[in-house]
Structure 1
Amino acid sequence: MPRTNDEVRTAIVSFLKETLETRGYPPSIREIGVHVGLASPASVQHHLRRLEADGLIHRDPTRSRAISLANEPPRAVEIPLLAEVGAGYSVVAEVDDVETIAIPASLVGSGDHFALRVRGDSMIDAGIFHGDYAVVRQQHDANDGEIVIATVDDQFGTIKVLRKVGHRILLEARNRRDPNLRVPIEITHRGSIQGKVIAIWRNL
C-alpha cells in the first residue's frame, strides 16, 4: 500500500535521528533515498525542503550534507578533500570532481576549509601520522609556531611548523628520529602558505 507524504517524512526524520545518534553525522541524500524507498534524489530533496519549512529539520545552505534535527546544531559538515600532502606531493587548489570528507561540525569555524591526507612521517612528534587527515582553514599567513600547509618553490606541498626568523619564513619538521628533517625549509618568493591546520582527523 502506497505511503502518504507524511509517512515518508516521518521515516526520514526517524532515519536522520538514528544515523546522527549512531555515527555522529547525517546520512547522504542517496542513503536517505535508499532507506525510505525513494529512487530520485530530487524527491528526497523535496521532502527535506518540506521538513525544513515545517521546522522539523535544519539545513545549512553554505555546507554540503549539513542536516540536523530541529533545535540541534549540525553535527557534521562535508569539506573538500583536495589532495595528499607531504614532500613531493602537490597541494591541489582546484579540481573538477572534488571528493569530500564528513567531519564533526565542532571542528570547523568561520572561513573556507579543506582537508588533505597526510603522507609520510615528518610530523609524527606533533602527533600527525601517515594516513591522517589535516583539516585546514584557508589563509595565507599564520603565527609563529602554528602548523601550516605551504608550498615551496611552487613545486610541492608540505605540512610543517611555521617559523618566522627576521624576514625569513621557515618550515620545521617534527621527527627526532630523522636528522635529515631537522633542517628547516625556507619559503621563497615562489612559495606561499596555503592554510593553517586547525585539526587532525583520524579514522580508527
Structure 2
Amino acid sequence: MLTRKQRDLLEFIHKRMQRDGVPPSFDEMKDALDLRSKSGIHRLITALEERGFIRRLAHRARAIEITRLPDDLGAAGFVPRVIDGDGGASVPAPTRAMPVQVDATELPVMGRIAAGVPIEAISEVSHHVAVPGQMLGRGGAHYALEVKGDSMIEAGINDGDVVVIREQNVADNGDIVVALVEGHEATLKRYRRVKGMIALEAANPAYETRLLKEDQVRVQGRLVGLIRSY
C-alpha cells in the first residue's frame, strides 16, 4: 500500500521515463510534488525501493528503474525502460519485475554523441544493437548513439550509455535531443526556446548552457530510451 505522496512520485517518474527515457532529476521531483527540500524525495525514493516499485542502479548518478506499478497506473502493460546488459546478454529480471517483451528491433549505432563538448557530426554506422519494441513505441525511424562525456549525468545518462533516438526535426521545451550545431557539431542536450534563441542545457552544473540562434541549431532526433551495459 502506497501513501498519496509515494504514489504521486511513482506516477511522475513513470510519466517522465515514458516521455524522455530517463528519470527526472531530484529537483524536478521536488518541484512536481511541491516539497521544500530534496530530503523528502530521498525518503519517498527509499520507501518505493523498499516496497519493490523501483530499483536504484548501483554506482550510477540518480539512475532509477521502475520494476512494477500499481494496477491503476497501467502495470499490466509495463516493462522497464532502462535495459541492463552486456552486448545483448540476458540478465535476470529484478525481483517482482513485470515480464520483459522478447521482441526486439536491430537499430544502427551511429557512432558517438557528445554529452559534454560537442564533437563532429555523426553519419556512419559503427554496429547494431537490439532494442525492445516497447521502447520504440509506434512508428517512426530510430537510431542509437553511444554517449561520450558526463554533461547529462544528472538526467541519468552516463558516459558509455547507448541512447535510443527517434528521428524528428522538431522538439518541445524540456526534450532531450540530438542537436546539430552550425552544421558540424553534434551534441546531446535538453532543448529549450528562450526569447527567440535556442538553449542547449546540460544536466551537470560543471557545464554551461549554450545559447544559440535558431538557424545555428538543427534538431535531429529526440531521446526515447537508454541502454546500459556493465
| TM-score normalized by the length of structure 2 | 0.52
Select the residue among 174, 191, 210 that pairs with 1:145. Answer: 174
Alpha-carbon distance in structure 1 between the residues aligned to 2:134 and 2:213: 32
Give the counterpart of 2:183 among 154, 158, 174: 154
Counterpart residue identity of residue 104, structure 1: P
Amino acid at match of 1:158: T
Query: Counterpart amino acid of 1:197?
Result: L
Whether 2:146 is the aligned partner of 1:79: answer: no
Length-normalised TM-score, structure 1: 0.58
CA contact (8 A) 1:151 1:187 kept: no
Alignment partner, residue 197 of structure 1: 223
1:160 to partner: Cα distance:
0.3
| Aligned partner of residue 120 in structure 2, secondary structure | coil
1:136-168 Cα offsets, whole Å, 9 max, x none, are: 000001110110000111121000000111321
- Structure 1 residue 131 corresponds to structure 2 residue 160: yes
Counting aligned pairs with the same residue, the percent is 32
Task: Report the alpha carbon displacement of residue 91 of structure 1 after superposing the two structures with TM.
Answer: 3.2
Q: Any conservation in 2 of the 1:80–1:114 contact (CA below 8 Å)?
A: yes
Does residue 111 (structure 1) correspond to residue 137 (structure 2)? The answer is no
Partner of 1:56: none
Structure 1 position 74, deviation (Å): 5.7
Cα 1:119–1:182 shift into 2, 3 Å: same
> Structure 1 stretches (4+) deviating beyond 4 angstroms?
none
- Evaluate the alpha carbon distance shift between residue 203 and residue 104 of structure 1 in structure 2; reply closer, same or farther with a 3 A threshold: same
In structure 2, distance between residues paired with 1:135 and 1:186: 25
Aligned partners of 1:134, 1:103: CA distance in 2, in Å? 10
Using the TM superposition, give the Cα deviation of residue 197 of structure 1 relative to its aligned residue in structure 2, in angstroms: 0.5
User: SS of the residue aligned with 1:125?
Assistant: helix
Matched, 1:89 2:122: no
Q: Cα RMSD (Å) of the superposition?
A: 2.0
Corresponding letter in the other structure for 1:124: I
Whether the aligned pair in 1 keeps the contact of 2:196 and 2:213 (CA below 8 Å) is: no
CA distance in 2, matches of 1:197, 1:90: 19
- Give the secondary structure class of the aligned counterpart of 1:189: helix
What is the aligned partner in structure 2 of residue 173 from structure 1?
202
Determine the C-alpha separation between the residues in 2 that align with 1:169 and 1:99.
32
Q: Which has the larger radius of gyration?
A: 1
1:77 and 1:104 in contact (8 A); partners too: yes
Contact 2:109 2:145 in 1 (8 A): yes
Which structure 1 residue ranges, 5 or more long, are not aligned? 1-21, 25-72
Rounded to whole Å, the distance in 2 between the matches of 1:147 and 1:137 is 11
Equivalent position amino acid for 1:175 in 2: N
- Paired with 1:148 and 1:167, the residues of 2 have a C-alpha distance of 18
